[in-house]
Structure 1
Amino acid sequence: MRCYWDEEDTWFYFEVDAEGWVIRQIELEGPDLTPIAAASLEEWQQAHDAGRLNEYDSRFGITAELPVSEWEGHDPQQLTAERFEEVWKTARGQIAARSS
């Protein structure tokens, strides 16, 4: 799904599991849809276990800490898995290019 936060001019894209927890999250900011985050919960946990959490957070960001059922004030738009993957691949590529 995706949601728009007009106060920050940011699109949030979410992949969630069956219980509503965010598995992957993308944040695109401004009119150019600049990727500012493309975080994976699994990667975040691996970085945490390896003691590299600060490095991961500063490069890719974090995922939402609450399941979507507890969110207030959002108006989600459904996405196909294919569309999420397209946006994910583009965002991760742009973030990786900036980090090189």
Structure 2
Amino acid sequence: MTHWFRSYWDEEDTWFHFEVDADGWVTRQVELRGPLAEPVAAASLAEWETAHAAGTPDDYESVFGATTCVPVQEWEGHEPHALTLEEFETVWRAARAACRGRARRRSASGT
């Protein structure tokens, strides 16, 4: 069963929002950093796998970041706060839009 939660890491002043499958693997991940909760990642494991198969994982990661590579059962020191699907989707859509916008601005400026 899929579930959603968020967790705060104070070392990076970052809220991580996760969608996790029944086996504990992160399928989607959002990272919001700093006091303004700036979206810095909104990655999908399925999309990354597609990009990897196409030989373009770096392009994908430069726009959306990546999901964590270990199941949540192996994490230490996090305090998960449950989210509903609707709460996760709201954060997901906003973060994806921000990541796409940032990529368009970089492309337009040539960097």
In structure 1, what is the Cα distance between the partners aligned to 2:74 and 2:99? 29
* Structure 1 moving runs of 4+ over 6 Å: none
TM-score w.r.t. structure 2 length? 0.88
Structure 2 residue identity aligned to 1:76? P
Mapped pair 1:67 → 2:71: yes
1:39 is the counterpart of 2:53:
no
Q: Could you tell me which runs of 5 or more consecutive residues in structure 2 were left unpaired when the two chains were aligned.
A: 105-111
Q: What are the Cα deviations for residues 4-30 of structure 1, in whole angstroms up to 9, with x where unaligned?
A: 011111000000001110000000000
Q: TM-score, structure 1 length as denominator? A: 0.98
Q: After superposition, give the CA deviation of every residue in 1:4-59 in whole Å (9 maximum; x if it has no partner).
A: 01111100000000111000000000011100000000000000001111101111
Structure 1, unaligned stretches of length 5 or more?
A: none
RMSD: 0.6
Percent identical: 59
Larger Rg: 2
Number of aligned positions between the proteins: 100
Aligned to 1:81: 85
